[in-house]
Structure 1
Protein backbone atom coordinates (compact mmCIF):
# COMPACT_ATOMS: atom_id res chain seq x y z
CA UNK A 1 0.00 0.00 0.00
CA UNK A 2 1.48 3.34 -1.03
CA UNK A 3 0.70 6.45 1.01
CA UNK A 4 1.30 10.18 0.57
CA UNK A 5 1.94 12.39 3.57
CA UNK A 6 0.01 15.65 3.83
CA UNK A 7 2.74 18.22 4.38
CA UNK A 8 4.50 21.03 2.55
CA UNK A 9 6.41 18.48 0.47
CA UNK A 10 4.47 15.26 0.16
CA UNK A 11 6.61 12.15 0.64
CA UNK A 12 5.43 8.91 -0.93
CA UNK A 13 6.24 5.62 0.75
CA UNK A 14 5.27 1.96 0.70
CA UNK A 15 4.21 0.12 3.86
CA UNK A 16 4.23 -3.69 3.82
CA UNK A 17 3.98 -6.26 6.59
CA UNK A 18 3.55 -5.90 10.33
CA UNK A 19 5.49 -5.90 13.57
CA UNK A 20 8.45 -4.10 15.06
CA UNK A 21 11.11 -3.07 14.67
CA UNK A 22 10.09 -1.82 11.26
CA UNK A 23 12.68 -1.70 8.50
CA UNK A 24 12.97 1.72 6.87
CA UNK A 25 14.54 1.43 3.42
CA UNK A 26 16.39 4.60 2.37
CA UNK A 27 17.53 4.87 -1.28
CA UNK A 28 20.58 6.82 -2.36
CA UNK A 29 20.58 10.17 -4.10
CA UNK A 30 19.23 10.26 -7.68
CA UNK A 31 17.31 7.02 -7.39
CA UNK A 32 13.83 5.92 -6.39
CA UNK A 33 12.63 3.33 -3.89
CA UNK A 34 12.31 0.84 -6.77
CA UNK A 35 15.83 -0.25 -5.85
CA UNK A 36 14.26 -1.91 -2.79
CA UNK A 37 11.25 -3.55 -4.45
CA UNK A 38 12.66 -7.07 -4.34
CA UNK A 39 14.20 -6.73 -0.89
CA UNK A 40 11.13 -5.19 0.76
CA UNK A 41 8.90 -7.87 -0.73
CA UNK A 42 11.25 -10.49 0.73
CA UNK A 43 11.41 -9.00 4.23
CA UNK A 44 7.75 -7.98 4.54
CA UNK A 45 6.38 -11.44 5.47
CA UNK A 46 8.49 -11.35 8.66
CA UNK A 47 9.32 -7.68 9.29
CA UNK A 48 7.27 -4.56 8.61
CA UNK A 49 8.99 -2.88 5.67
CA UNK A 50 8.73 0.83 4.85
CA UNK A 51 10.40 2.27 1.76
CA UNK A 52 10.30 5.92 0.73
CA UNK A 53 11.07 8.24 -2.13
CA UNK A 54 12.99 11.35 -1.11
CA UNK A 55 11.54 14.74 -2.02
CA UNK A 56 12.13 15.40 -5.71
CA UNK A 57 12.53 11.65 -6.34
CA UNK A 58 10.21 8.92 -7.57
CA UNK A 59 6.59 9.53 -6.61
CA UNK A 60 7.29 12.15 -3.96
CA UNK A 61 6.60 15.81 -4.53
CA UNK A 62 9.34 18.13 -5.80
CA UNK A 63 9.97 21.20 -3.66
CA UNK A 64 10.15 24.59 -5.28
CA UNK A 65 13.63 25.45 -4.06
CA UNK A 66 16.91 23.79 -3.21
CA UNK A 67 17.24 21.17 -0.49
CA UNK A 68 19.92 19.08 1.15
CA UNK A 69 20.64 16.15 3.43
CA UNK A 70 18.99 17.76 6.44
CA UNK A 71 15.76 17.88 4.47
CA UNK A 72 16.06 14.18 3.68
CA UNK A 73 16.28 13.56 7.42
CA UNK A 74 12.99 15.40 7.80
CA UNK A 75 11.49 13.24 5.02
CA UNK A 76 12.49 10.08 6.90
CA UNK A 77 11.17 11.44 10.21
CA UNK A 78 7.85 12.29 8.59
CA UNK A 79 7.50 8.74 7.28
CA UNK A 80 8.30 7.29 10.70
CA UNK A 81 5.69 9.54 12.29
CA UNK A 82 3.06 8.83 9.65
CA UNK A 83 3.62 5.07 9.89
CA UNK A 84 3.28 5.07 13.66
CA UNK A 85 6.34 2.84 14.02
CA UNK A 86 7.81 3.09 17.52
CA UNK A 87 11.07 1.30 16.72
CA UNK A 88 12.81 1.47 13.35
CA UNK A 89 15.88 -0.04 11.70
CA UNK A 90 17.11 2.16 8.83
CA UNK A 91 18.42 0.15 5.88
CA UNK A 92 20.37 2.73 3.91
CA UNK A 93 21.77 2.35 0.42
CA UNK A 94 25.09 4.09 -0.16
CA UNK A 95 25.16 7.73 1.02
CA UNK A 96 21.70 7.57 2.54
CA UNK A 97 23.76 6.21 5.41
CA UNK A 98 24.39 9.79 6.52
CA UNK A 99 20.63 10.18 6.99
CA UNK A 100 20.47 6.94 8.98
CA UNK A 101 23.20 8.14 11.36
CA UNK A 102 21.35 11.41 11.95
CA UNK A 103 18.14 9.48 12.65
CA UNK A 104 19.94 7.63 15.42
CA UNK A 105 21.21 10.93 16.84
CA UNK A 106 17.70 12.35 16.91
CA UNK A 107 15.64 9.34 17.91
CA UNK A 108 18.09 7.51 20.16
CA UNK A 109 16.90 4.09 21.28
CA UNK A 110 13.97 4.14 18.86
CA UNK A 111 16.65 3.31 16.27
CA UNK A 112 17.85 -0.04 17.61
CA UNK A 113 20.16 -1.04 14.72
CA UNK A 114 21.67 0.48 11.57
CA UNK A 115 22.13 -1.39 8.29
CA UNK A 116 24.27 0.08 5.50
CA UNK A 117 24.40 -1.28 1.96
CA UNK A 118 27.37 -0.77 -0.35
CA UNK A 119 28.74 2.42 1.19
CA UNK A 120 32.20 3.99 1.10
CA UNK A 121 32.41 3.55 4.83
CA UNK A 122 36.10 4.44 5.13
CA UNK A 123 37.55 7.83 4.21
CA UNK A 124 36.56 8.81 0.68
CA UNK A 125 39.42 8.24 -1.81
CA UNK A 126 40.57 11.35 -3.74
CA UNK A 127 39.30 10.08 -7.14
CA UNK A 128 35.81 9.75 -5.67
CA UNK A 129 35.94 13.26 -4.25
CA UNK A 130 36.95 14.49 -7.70
CA UNK A 131 33.89 12.77 -9.18
CA UNK A 132 31.68 14.56 -6.66
CA UNK A 133 33.18 17.88 -7.69
CA UNK A 134 32.75 17.10 -11.39
CA UNK A 135 29.06 16.36 -10.86
CA UNK A 136 28.69 19.96 -9.74
CA UNK A 137 30.23 21.33 -12.94
CA UNK A 138 27.58 22.13 -15.62
CA UNK A 139 30.10 21.43 -18.39
CA UNK A 140 31.25 18.04 -17.08
CA UNK A 141 28.44 16.53 -15.03
CA UNK A 142 26.80 14.57 -17.87
CA UNK A 143 30.05 12.89 -18.92
CA UNK A 144 30.84 12.09 -15.28
CA UNK A 145 27.40 10.59 -14.74
CA UNK A 146 27.83 8.46 -17.86
CA UNK A 147 31.19 7.23 -16.58
CA UNK A 148 29.54 6.23 -13.30
CA UNK A 149 26.80 4.37 -15.15
CA UNK A 150 29.33 2.56 -17.33
CA UNK A 151 31.36 1.57 -14.27
CA UNK A 152 28.31 0.35 -12.34
CA UNK A 153 27.07 -1.74 -15.28
CA UNK A 154 30.39 -3.03 -16.61
CA UNK A 155 30.11 -6.74 -17.37
CA UNK A 156 26.56 -6.93 -16.02
CA UNK A 157 23.37 -7.55 -17.96
CA UNK A 158 20.76 -8.03 -15.21
CA UNK A 159 17.64 -6.37 -16.73
CA UNK A 160 16.44 -4.90 -13.44
CA UNK A 161 19.87 -3.43 -12.76
CA UNK A 162 20.27 -1.93 -16.23
CA UNK A 163 16.78 -0.46 -16.12
CA UNK A 164 17.30 1.06 -12.67
CA UNK A 165 20.59 2.72 -13.57
CA UNK A 166 19.83 3.81 -17.14
CA UNK A 167 16.17 4.76 -16.77
CA UNK A 168 15.50 5.52 -13.11
CA UNK A 169 18.78 7.17 -12.14
CA UNK A 170 19.16 8.48 -15.67
CA UNK A 171 15.93 10.47 -15.31
CA UNK A 172 17.55 12.98 -12.93
CA UNK A 173 19.24 16.02 -14.39
CA UNK A 174 22.08 18.34 -13.48
CA UNK A 175 20.38 19.98 -10.50
CA UNK A 176 19.88 16.71 -8.64
CA UNK A 177 23.26 15.20 -9.47
CA UNK A 178 25.01 18.43 -8.52
CA UNK A 179 23.04 18.50 -5.28
CA UNK A 180 24.12 14.93 -4.57
CA UNK A 181 27.75 15.79 -5.21
CA UNK A 182 27.56 18.80 -2.94
CA UNK A 183 25.84 17.04 -0.05
CA UNK A 184 27.98 13.90 -0.13
CA UNK A 185 31.18 15.97 -0.31
CA UNK A 186 30.07 18.04 2.66
CA UNK A 187 29.30 14.95 4.72
CA UNK A 188 32.78 13.46 4.24
CA UNK A 189 34.43 16.84 4.83
CA UNK A 190 32.62 17.22 8.14
CA UNK A 191 32.79 13.66 9.48
CA UNK A 192 35.96 12.30 7.89
CA UNK A 193 34.31 8.93 7.27
CA UNK A 194 31.13 7.09 8.22
CA UNK A 195 33.10 4.91 10.64
CA UNK A 196 34.41 8.00 12.40
CA UNK A 197 30.90 9.41 12.61
CA UNK A 198 29.63 6.16 14.10
CA UNK A 199 32.23 6.20 16.87
CA UNK A 200 30.73 9.46 18.12
CA UNK A 201 27.28 7.97 18.66
CA UNK A 202 26.66 7.50 22.37
CA UNK A 203 25.59 5.00 23.34
CA UNK A 204 26.85 2.82 20.52
CA UNK A 205 24.37 1.14 18.21
CA UNK A 206 24.76 -2.22 16.43
CA UNK A 207 25.82 -1.60 12.83
CA UNK A 208 25.90 -4.03 9.89
CA UNK A 209 27.55 -3.16 6.58
CA UNK A 210 26.64 -5.42 3.66
CA UNK A 211 28.46 -4.68 0.43
CA UNK A 212 29.45 -6.06 -2.95
CA UNK A 213 31.90 -3.47 -4.26
CA UNK A 214 34.81 -2.89 -4.30
CA UNK A 215 36.44 -6.29 -4.68
CA UNK A 216 39.68 -5.07 -3.06
CA UNK A 217 40.50 -7.43 -0.14
CA UNK A 218 42.10 -4.52 1.71
CA UNK A 219 38.72 -2.79 1.94
CA UNK A 220 37.23 -5.78 3.76
CA UNK A 221 40.34 -6.21 5.92
CA UNK A 222 40.18 -2.59 7.09
CA UNK A 223 36.56 -3.02 8.15
CA UNK A 224 37.32 -6.29 9.92
CA UNK A 225 40.14 -4.59 11.80
CA UNK A 226 37.75 -1.84 12.86
CA UNK A 227 35.21 -4.46 13.98
CA UNK A 228 37.84 -6.16 16.12
CA UNK A 229 38.13 -2.97 18.18
CA UNK A 230 34.47 -1.96 17.99
CA UNK A 231 32.26 -5.00 18.71
CA UNK A 232 29.10 -3.11 17.76
CA UNK A 233 30.24 -3.09 14.10
CA UNK A 234 30.07 -6.03 11.70
CA UNK A 235 30.63 -6.39 7.99
CA UNK A 236 29.83 -9.00 5.35
CA UNK A 237 30.86 -9.23 1.71
CA UNK A 238 27.92 -10.15 -0.50
CA UNK A 239 27.96 -12.61 -3.40
CA UNK A 240 27.02 -9.89 -5.87
CA UNK A 241 28.89 -7.97 -8.56
CA UNK A 242 27.24 -4.55 -8.68
CA UNK A 243 26.92 -1.40 -6.61
CA UNK A 244 23.22 -2.25 -6.23
CA UNK A 245 23.17 -5.70 -4.62
CA UNK A 246 19.47 -5.36 -3.70
CA UNK A 247 18.76 -6.01 -7.38
CA UNK A 248 20.96 -9.13 -7.43
CA UNK A 249 20.84 -10.93 -4.07
CA UNK A 250 17.73 -9.73 -2.25
CA UNK A 251 17.31 -13.09 -0.50
CA UNK A 252 20.86 -13.03 0.86
CA UNK A 253 20.49 -9.46 2.13
CA UNK A 254 17.09 -10.17 3.69
CA UNK A 255 18.44 -13.18 5.58
CA UNK A 256 21.39 -11.17 6.91
CA UNK A 257 19.18 -8.30 8.03
CA UNK A 258 16.65 -10.56 9.71
CA UNK A 259 19.38 -12.36 11.64
CA UNK A 260 20.98 -9.05 12.60
CA UNK A 261 17.90 -7.31 14.00
CA UNK A 262 17.19 -10.08 16.51
CA UNK A 263 20.42 -9.12 18.33
CA UNK A 264 20.10 -7.19 21.54
CA UNK A 265 20.83 -3.47 21.01
CA UNK A 266 24.02 -2.05 22.48
CA UNK A 267 23.67 -0.82 26.06
Structure 2
Protein backbone atom coordinates (compact mmCIF):
# COMPACT_ATOMS: atom_id res chain seq x y z
CA UNK A 1 0.00 0.00 0.00
CA UNK A 2 1.21 3.52 -0.85
CA UNK A 3 0.09 6.88 0.44
CA UNK A 4 0.40 10.61 -0.15
CA UNK A 5 -0.95 13.66 1.63
CA UNK A 6 -3.34 16.27 0.31
CA UNK A 7 -4.01 19.33 2.47
CA UNK A 8 -2.73 17.36 5.45
CA UNK A 9 -5.02 14.38 4.85
CA UNK A 10 -3.52 10.93 4.29
CA UNK A 11 -4.65 9.40 0.98
CA UNK A 12 -4.01 5.69 0.54
CA UNK A 13 -3.84 3.71 -2.66
CA UNK A 14 -2.55 0.41 -4.01
CA UNK A 15 0.24 0.45 -6.60
CA UNK A 16 0.56 -2.91 -8.34
CA UNK A 17 1.71 -4.37 -11.64
CA UNK A 18 3.78 -2.72 -14.34
CA UNK A 19 3.43 -1.46 -17.88
CA UNK A 20 2.33 1.79 -19.49
CA UNK A 21 -0.09 3.41 -19.61
CA UNK A 22 -0.89 3.21 -15.92
CA UNK A 23 -4.51 2.47 -15.02
CA UNK A 24 -6.04 4.70 -12.34
CA UNK A 25 -8.98 2.92 -10.71
CA UNK A 26 -11.46 5.49 -9.36
CA UNK A 27 -14.38 4.40 -7.14
CA UNK A 28 -17.65 6.31 -7.06
CA UNK A 29 -19.13 8.17 -4.10
CA UNK A 30 -19.68 6.10 -0.94
CA UNK A 31 -17.53 3.32 -2.38
CA UNK A 32 -14.08 2.16 -1.27
CA UNK A 33 -11.32 0.77 -3.47
CA UNK A 34 -12.49 -2.67 -2.32
CA UNK A 35 -14.92 -2.62 -5.24
CA UNK A 36 -11.97 -3.22 -7.59
CA UNK A 37 -10.46 -6.14 -5.66
CA UNK A 38 -11.48 -8.76 -8.27
CA UNK A 39 -10.81 -6.69 -11.40
CA UNK A 40 -7.38 -5.26 -10.58
CA UNK A 41 -5.47 -8.59 -10.39
CA UNK A 42 -6.47 -9.34 -13.98
CA UNK A 43 -5.72 -5.83 -15.26
CA UNK A 44 -2.38 -5.63 -13.45
CA UNK A 45 -1.14 -8.58 -15.53
CA UNK A 46 -0.85 -6.07 -18.37
CA UNK A 47 -0.59 -2.64 -16.80
CA UNK A 48 0.53 -0.83 -13.70
CA UNK A 49 -2.55 -0.11 -11.59
CA UNK A 50 -3.19 2.63 -9.03
CA UNK A 51 -6.30 1.91 -6.92
CA UNK A 52 -7.40 4.90 -4.86
CA UNK A 53 -9.47 5.41 -1.75
CA UNK A 54 -11.19 8.77 -2.16
CA UNK A 55 -10.97 11.41 0.60
CA UNK A 56 -13.00 10.25 3.59
CA UNK A 57 -13.46 6.80 2.05
CA UNK A 58 -11.85 3.50 2.99
CA UNK A 59 -8.42 4.15 4.49
CA UNK A 60 -8.09 7.76 3.29
CA UNK A 61 -8.64 10.69 5.62
CA UNK A 62 -11.07 13.52 4.96
CA UNK A 63 -9.53 16.97 4.39
CA UNK A 64 -11.67 18.97 6.80
CA UNK A 65 -15.39 18.98 7.57
CA UNK A 66 -16.48 19.14 3.93
CA UNK A 67 -15.08 18.69 0.41
CA UNK A 68 -16.35 18.71 -3.16
CA UNK A 69 -15.66 17.43 -6.68
CA UNK A 70 -12.73 19.82 -7.05
CA UNK A 71 -11.07 18.41 -3.95
CA UNK A 72 -11.49 14.86 -5.25
CA UNK A 73 -9.85 15.76 -8.58
CA UNK A 74 -7.00 17.47 -6.71
CA UNK A 75 -6.56 14.26 -4.71
CA UNK A 76 -6.43 12.12 -7.84
CA UNK A 77 -3.85 14.45 -9.36
CA UNK A 78 -1.77 14.20 -6.20
CA UNK A 79 -1.82 10.39 -6.45
CA UNK A 80 -0.76 10.56 -10.11
CA UNK A 81 2.07 12.92 -9.24
CA UNK A 82 3.22 10.86 -6.25
CA UNK A 83 3.24 7.70 -8.38
CA UNK A 84 5.42 9.25 -11.07
CA UNK A 85 3.15 7.81 -13.78
CA UNK A 86 3.60 9.49 -17.15
CA UNK A 87 0.40 8.48 -18.93
CA UNK A 88 -2.71 7.45 -17.01
CA UNK A 89 -5.97 5.89 -18.16
CA UNK A 90 -8.73 6.46 -15.59
CA UNK A 91 -10.95 3.42 -15.03
CA UNK A 92 -13.86 5.09 -13.29
CA UNK A 93 -16.88 3.50 -11.65
CA UNK A 94 -20.22 5.24 -12.00
CA UNK A 95 -20.08 8.94 -11.07
CA UNK A 96 -16.32 8.68 -10.69
CA UNK A 97 -16.48 9.29 -14.42
CA UNK A 98 -16.99 13.01 -13.79
CA UNK A 99 -13.56 13.15 -12.15
CA UNK A 100 -12.04 11.17 -15.02
CA UNK A 101 -13.37 13.75 -17.50
CA UNK A 102 -11.93 16.57 -15.44
CA UNK A 103 -8.54 14.87 -15.32
CA UNK A 104 -8.56 14.80 -19.12
CA UNK A 105 -9.43 18.51 -19.23
CA UNK A 106 -6.59 19.37 -16.86
CA UNK A 107 -3.87 16.94 -17.97
CA UNK A 108 -4.59 16.67 -21.68
CA UNK A 109 -2.55 14.05 -23.51
CA UNK A 110 -1.31 12.54 -20.25
CA UNK A 111 -4.82 11.04 -20.15
CA UNK A 112 -4.85 9.24 -23.53
CA UNK A 113 -8.11 7.31 -23.00
CA UNK A 114 -11.03 6.88 -20.59
CA UNK A 115 -12.75 3.71 -19.39
CA UNK A 116 -16.15 4.26 -17.77
CA UNK A 117 -17.91 1.51 -15.82
CA UNK A 118 -21.68 1.29 -15.39
CA UNK A 119 -22.48 5.00 -15.49
CA UNK A 120 -25.63 7.00 -16.20
CA UNK A 121 -24.11 8.52 -19.34
CA UNK A 122 -27.40 9.75 -20.85
CA UNK A 123 -29.58 12.60 -19.63
CA UNK A 124 -30.80 11.54 -16.18
CA UNK A 125 -34.51 10.65 -15.88
CA UNK A 126 -36.64 12.58 -13.35
CA UNK A 127 -36.75 9.71 -10.78
CA UNK A 128 -32.95 9.71 -10.63
CA UNK A 129 -32.80 13.46 -10.05
CA UNK A 130 -35.48 13.14 -7.37
CA UNK A 131 -33.40 10.47 -5.61
CA UNK A 132 -30.27 12.62 -5.78
CA UNK A 133 -32.20 15.53 -4.27
CA UNK A 134 -33.67 13.27 -1.57
CA UNK A 135 -30.16 12.19 -0.60
CA UNK A 136 -29.50 15.80 0.39
CA UNK A 137 -32.53 15.95 2.70
CA UNK A 138 -33.72 14.41 5.93
CA UNK A 139 -34.96 11.53 3.77
CA UNK A 140 -31.40 10.56 2.79
CA UNK A 141 -31.60 7.12 4.43
CA UNK A 142 -34.80 6.17 2.61
CA UNK A 143 -33.29 7.39 -0.68
CA UNK A 144 -30.11 5.38 -0.09
CA UNK A 145 -32.06 2.25 0.84
CA UNK A 146 -34.14 2.67 -2.30
CA UNK A 147 -30.97 2.67 -4.38
CA UNK A 148 -29.74 -0.43 -2.57
CA UNK A 149 -33.03 -2.24 -3.27
CA UNK A 150 -32.83 -1.26 -6.94
CA UNK A 151 -29.20 -2.38 -7.28
CA UNK A 152 -29.82 -5.72 -5.52
CA UNK A 153 -33.12 -6.64 -7.19
CA UNK A 154 -32.72 -10.07 -8.75
CA UNK A 155 -29.01 -10.19 -7.87
CA UNK A 156 -27.72 -13.50 -6.53
CA UNK A 157 -24.01 -12.69 -6.35
CA UNK A 158 -22.91 -12.77 -2.68
CA UNK A 159 -19.98 -10.49 -3.56
CA UNK A 160 -22.32 -7.81 -4.87
CA UNK A 161 -24.78 -8.15 -1.98
CA UNK A 162 -21.97 -7.99 0.58
CA UNK A 163 -20.36 -4.99 -1.06
CA UNK A 164 -23.55 -2.93 -1.28
CA UNK A 165 -24.74 -3.72 2.23
CA UNK A 166 -21.44 -3.72 4.09
CA UNK A 167 -19.15 -1.36 2.19
CA UNK A 168 -21.57 1.20 0.78
CA UNK A 169 -23.83 0.75 3.80
CA UNK A 170 -21.00 1.81 6.10
CA UNK A 171 -21.13 5.44 4.93
CA UNK A 172 -23.25 7.83 6.94
CA UNK A 173 -25.43 10.87 6.47
CA UNK A 174 -22.70 13.41 5.72
CA UNK A 175 -21.15 11.42 2.89
CA UNK A 176 -24.45 10.45 1.24
CA UNK A 177 -25.67 14.05 1.39
CA UNK A 178 -22.35 15.22 -0.06
CA UNK A 179 -22.66 12.65 -2.83
CA UNK A 180 -26.15 13.84 -3.70
CA UNK A 181 -25.05 17.47 -3.76
CA UNK A 182 -21.98 16.91 -5.94
CA UNK A 183 -23.72 14.53 -8.37
CA UNK A 184 -26.61 16.94 -8.88
CA UNK A 185 -24.14 19.78 -9.43
CA UNK A 186 -22.40 18.17 -12.41
CA UNK A 187 -25.57 16.93 -14.11
CA UNK A 188 -27.03 20.42 -13.78
CA UNK A 189 -23.91 21.93 -15.32
CA UNK A 190 -23.32 19.49 -18.19
CA UNK A 191 -26.70 17.83 -18.84
CA UNK A 192 -25.21 14.37 -19.30
CA UNK A 193 -21.79 12.69 -19.38
CA UNK A 194 -22.06 12.16 -23.16
CA UNK A 195 -22.65 15.88 -23.64
CA UNK A 196 -19.65 16.61 -21.42
CA UNK A 197 -17.47 14.13 -23.32
CA UNK A 198 -18.43 15.79 -26.60
CA UNK A 199 -17.01 19.11 -25.37
CA UNK A 200 -13.49 17.69 -24.92
CA UNK A 201 -11.13 19.02 -27.58
CA UNK A 202 -9.48 17.06 -28.95
CA UNK A 203 -11.80 14.13 -28.20
CA UNK A 204 -10.46 11.21 -26.20
CA UNK A 205 -10.97 7.50 -26.96
CA UNK A 206 -13.62 6.36 -24.48
CA UNK A 207 -15.09 2.97 -23.61
CA UNK A 208 -18.28 2.53 -21.58
CA UNK A 209 -18.67 -0.97 -20.11
CA UNK A 210 -21.99 -1.53 -18.38
CA UNK A 211 -24.48 -4.19 -17.37
CA UNK A 212 -27.58 -2.34 -16.18
CA UNK A 213 -30.23 -1.35 -17.06
CA UNK A 214 -31.64 -4.14 -19.21
CA UNK A 215 -33.15 -1.66 -21.65
CA UNK A 216 -32.54 -1.90 -25.39
CA UNK A 217 -33.36 1.80 -25.84
CA UNK A 218 -30.59 2.69 -23.37
CA UNK A 219 -28.06 0.75 -25.45
CA UNK A 220 -29.33 2.05 -28.79
CA UNK A 221 -29.09 5.66 -27.61
CA UNK A 222 -25.42 5.11 -26.79
CA UNK A 223 -24.80 3.35 -30.09
CA UNK A 224 -26.41 6.26 -31.88
CA UNK A 225 -24.05 8.64 -30.11
CA UNK A 226 -21.11 6.39 -31.03
CA UNK A 227 -22.10 6.43 -34.71
CA UNK A 228 -21.58 10.19 -34.85
CA UNK A 229 -18.69 10.25 -32.35
CA UNK A 230 -16.34 7.44 -33.43
CA UNK A 231 -14.03 7.96 -30.46
CA UNK A 232 -16.79 6.55 -28.18
CA UNK A 233 -17.52 2.85 -27.71
CA UNK A 234 -20.19 1.15 -25.63
CA UNK A 235 -20.28 -2.54 -24.70
CA UNK A 236 -23.08 -4.29 -22.81
CA UNK A 237 -22.02 -6.97 -20.32
CA UNK A 238 -24.05 -10.09 -19.41
CA UNK A 239 -24.16 -9.35 -15.68
CA UNK A 240 -27.15 -8.96 -13.35
CA UNK A 241 -26.03 -6.04 -11.22
CA UNK A 242 -24.80 -2.46 -11.26
CA UNK A 243 -21.36 -3.86 -10.33
CA UNK A 244 -20.29 -6.18 -13.17
CA UNK A 245 -16.66 -5.83 -12.04
CA UNK A 246 -17.60 -8.06 -9.09
CA UNK A 247 -19.40 -10.55 -11.33
CA UNK A 248 -17.30 -10.69 -14.52
CA UNK A 249 -13.83 -9.35 -13.68
CA UNK A 250 -11.99 -11.56 -16.18
CA UNK A 251 -14.24 -10.60 -19.10
CA UNK A 252 -14.06 -6.92 -18.18
CA UNK A 253 -10.26 -7.05 -18.05
CA UNK A 254 -10.12 -8.67 -21.49
CA UNK A 255 -12.44 -6.06 -23.00
CA UNK A 256 -10.52 -3.23 -21.35
CA UNK A 257 -7.23 -4.61 -22.67
CA UNK A 258 -8.56 -4.99 -26.19
CA UNK A 259 -9.89 -1.43 -26.14
CA UNK A 260 -6.53 -0.01 -25.07
CA UNK A 261 -4.71 -2.09 -27.67
CA UNK A 262 -7.06 -0.81 -30.38
CA UNK A 263 -7.18 2.82 -29.21
CA UNK A 264 -3.56 3.27 -28.11
CA UNK A 265 -1.66 0.43 -29.75
CA UNK A 266 -0.53 -1.02 -26.41
CA UNK A 267 1.29 -4.35 -26.71
CA UNK A 268 2.66 -5.34 -23.28
CA UNK A 269 5.62 -7.66 -23.91
CA UNK A 270 5.43 -11.22 -22.71
CA UNK A 271 1.87 -10.99 -21.38
CA UNK A 272 -1.51 -11.95 -22.72
CA UNK A 273 -4.93 -11.11 -21.34
CA UNK A 274 -6.78 -13.94 -19.61
CA UNK A 275 -9.35 -15.77 -21.70
CA UNK A 276 -12.97 -16.28 -20.72
User: Which whole-Å deviations, capped at 9, do the CAs of 1:99-133 have from their partners, x for residues lacking one?
Assistant: 00000001100001000000010101110000000
What does residue 168 of structure 2 align with? 169
- For residues 5-84 of structure 1, what are the structure 2 equivalents within 5 Å? 5-7=4-6, 8-84=8-84
User: Which whole-Å deviations, capped at 9, do the CAs of 1:198-232 have from their partners, x for residues lacking one?
Assistant: 11101110000000011110000000011000100
Cα gap change, 1:143 to 1:109, in 2 (>3 Å): same
- 1:150 Cα deviation from its structure 2 partner: 1.1
- For residues 117-128 of structure 1, what are the structure 2 equivalents within 5 Å? 117-128=117-128
- 1:12 Cα deviation from its structure 2 partner: 0.6
- Name the SS of the counterpart of 1:90 in structure 2: strand
- 1:56 Cα deviation from its structure 2 partner: 0.3
Q: Say what the alpha-carbon RMSD is for the aligned residues.
A: 1.1
- Name the SS of the counterpart of 2:209 in structure 1: strand
TM-score calculated relative to the size of structure 1: 0.97
- 1:155 Cα deviation from its structure 2 partner: 1.6
What does residue 245 of structure 1 align with? 244
TM-score calculated relative to the size of structure 2: 0.94
- 1:263 Cα deviation from its structure 2 partner: 2.7
What does residue 100 of structure 1 align with? 100
- Name the SS of the counterpart of 1:51 in structure 2: strand
Checking the alignment, whether the CA contact within 8 Å between 1:73 and 1:102 is kept in structure 2 is yes
User: Which whole-Å deviations, capped at 9, do the CAs of 1:207-259 have from their partners, x for residues lacking one?
Assistant: 00000011110000000011000100000000111001110000111001111
- Name the SS of the counterpart of 2:64 in structure 1: coil
Deviant stretches of 4+, over 6 Å:
none
Gaps (5+ residues) in structure 2?
A: 266-276
- For residues 181-260 of structure 1, what are the structure 2 equivalents within 5 Å? 181-260=180-259
Whole-angstrom distance in 2 between the partners of 1:9 and 1:123: 35
Checking the alignment, whether the CA contact within 8 Å between 1:118 and 1:211 is kept in structure 2 is yes
Checking the alignment, whether the CA contact within 8 Å between 1:205 and 1:265 is kept in structure 2 is no
Whole-angstrom distance in 1 between the partners of 2:163 and 2:76: 22
Whole-angstrom distance in 1 between the partners of 2:49 and 2:130: 36
The total of aligned residue pairs comes to 264
What does residue 273 of structure 2 align with? none
- 1:262 Cα deviation from its structure 2 partner: 1.6
- Name the SS of the counterpart of 2:5 in structure 1: coil
Whole-angstrom distance in 2 between the partners of 1:244 and 1:192: 24
Whole-angstrom distance in 1 between the partners of 2:213 and 2:53: 26
Whole-angstrom distance in 2 between the partners of 1:48 and 1:260: 16
Gaps (5+ residues) in structure 1?
A: none
- 1:6 Cα deviation from its structure 2 partner: 3.2
Whole-angstrom distance in 1 between the partners of 2:203 and 2:250: 28
- 1:265 Cα deviation from its structure 2 partner: 4.9
